[in-house]
Structures are given as C-alpha cells and as structure tokens.
C-alpha cells in the first residue's frame, strides 16, 4: 500500500492516513506499526514522514549528523489522526540513515544499549549501512539480538542519481 502510494505520488500524509485506517478498521489485537517514508527530489529536497519510528539521521561528508526529529504517532493507535510530513535540504554527499529500534536497543554483554549516541558517532565517521550493522554485531559480542536489526542508507550524490 505504501509503495503504491509513493509510486502514484500520493501526498505522504495521505499515505499514512490510509495505512492508519487499514490498521484501525481491523481487529489486530492492539497492534500498530511504525515506519518512515522518505522522498528525495533531484534538487536535494527531502520530504519525510515519520510514524513513531526511530528518527532517521542525515550524515554529511564533513561528519555532521542531524536527527530528523519531526514525528507522528504510529499507525493503528488512533483513528482519524492527522499526519504531517516535514522537509529538509540535502547537499551532495549527504547520507540518510534509517534504523529499526533493534539497532539502538541492541544490548551489549554488560546490559547496556547500543544507543543513539553511538549510532550518531559511527554515522559521523562515514560508515556504510553494512559497517553500522557489523558494529552492532561487535557491540553485542556476536550474541543474538532481541529485536529486528535493520539499517538502510541512501547516499545523495546531487546529480539526480542515488546510490
């Protein structure tokens, strides 16, 4: 549903409203979903909509990291909620990094969490999604994680292409 909405250029808030209605009209046993939708235009304009998910990061080539903190409630919690998107401007070389909470809440052997600060520090060093994921494994001392761990990245090149 979300993919089709993006391909059809449905406004991001409407996509979230539709997903929310889908969850709310079904008896799913108090289940809900969090997600982030991000659309990058060739000129670097980023429009994003966060529904209760871990805030994405923008990591610049210079090592600066910005959290995209604008957020909405997860879908499936409240019927007829209004969703809002936000924007940011990317510059060539910026990377958008999205993770699931299984990354930031991954536990080390001492019971401490991987955390937002560690993620931001590693992102500032220019680590790729694979390197970030490997860092979580090392942090956990190769023990199984308690939740799904996903790292997704998008590199904005500034010439209308993505890698």
Q: What is the pLDDT of residues 111-133, one digit of tens each?
A: 999 999 999 999 999 999 999 99
**Mean pLDDT throughout 159-163?**
57
Determine phi and psi for 109, rounding to 5 degrees: -60, -30
pLDDT for residue 137 is more than 90: yes
The pair of three-digit structure tokens given for residue 154, joined into one six-digit string = 């998008």
Q: Angle at Cα 111 formed by Cα 110 and Cα 116, nearest 5°?
A: 110
- 3-state DSSP assignment of residue 25: coil
pLDDT for residue 61 is more than 80: yes
Distance CA 80, CA 69 (A): 23
Domain ranges of the chain: 2-155
The pair of three-digit structure tokens given for residue 35, joined into one six-digit string = 């997600």
pLDDT for residue 160 is more than 70: no
- Residue bearing the bigger pLDDT, 141 or 146: 141
What are the CA-CA distances from residue 115 to residues 102, 144, 160 (Å)?
Answer: 10, 17, 33
**Mean pLDDT throughout 31-39?**
93
Architecture field, domain 2-155: 4-Layer Sandwich (3.60)
Mean pLDDT of the residues in the chain: 92
pLDDT the model gives residue 146:
79
The predicted model scores a pTM of: 0.89
pLDDT the model gives residue 129:
94
31 Cβ neighbours under 8 A, 6+ residues apart:
23, 76
Lowest mean pLDDT among 38-52, 58-72, 80-94, 149-163: 149-163
pLDDT the model gives residue 18:
94
């Amino acid at each position: 549903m979300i993919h089709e909405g993006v391909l059809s250029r449905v406004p991001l808030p409407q996509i979230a409203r539709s997903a929310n209605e889908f969850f709310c009209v079904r008896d799913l046993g108090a289940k809900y979903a969090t997600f982030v939708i991000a659309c990058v235009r060739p000129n670097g304009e980023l429009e994003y909509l966060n529904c209760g998910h871990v805030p994405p990061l923008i990591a610049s080539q210079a090592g600066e990291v910005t959290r995209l903190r604008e957020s909405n409630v997860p879908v499936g919690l409240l019927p007829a909620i209004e969703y809002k998107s936000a924007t940011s401007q990317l510059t060539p070389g910026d990377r958008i990094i999205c993770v699931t909470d299984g990354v930031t809440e991954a536990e080390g052997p001492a019971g401490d969490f991987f955390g937002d600060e560690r993620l931001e520090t590693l992102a500032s060093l220019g680590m790729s999604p694979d390197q970030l994921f490997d860092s979580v494994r090392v942090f956990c001392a190769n023990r199984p994680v308690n939740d799904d761990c996903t790292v997704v990245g998008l590199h904005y090149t500034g010439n209308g292409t993505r890698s």
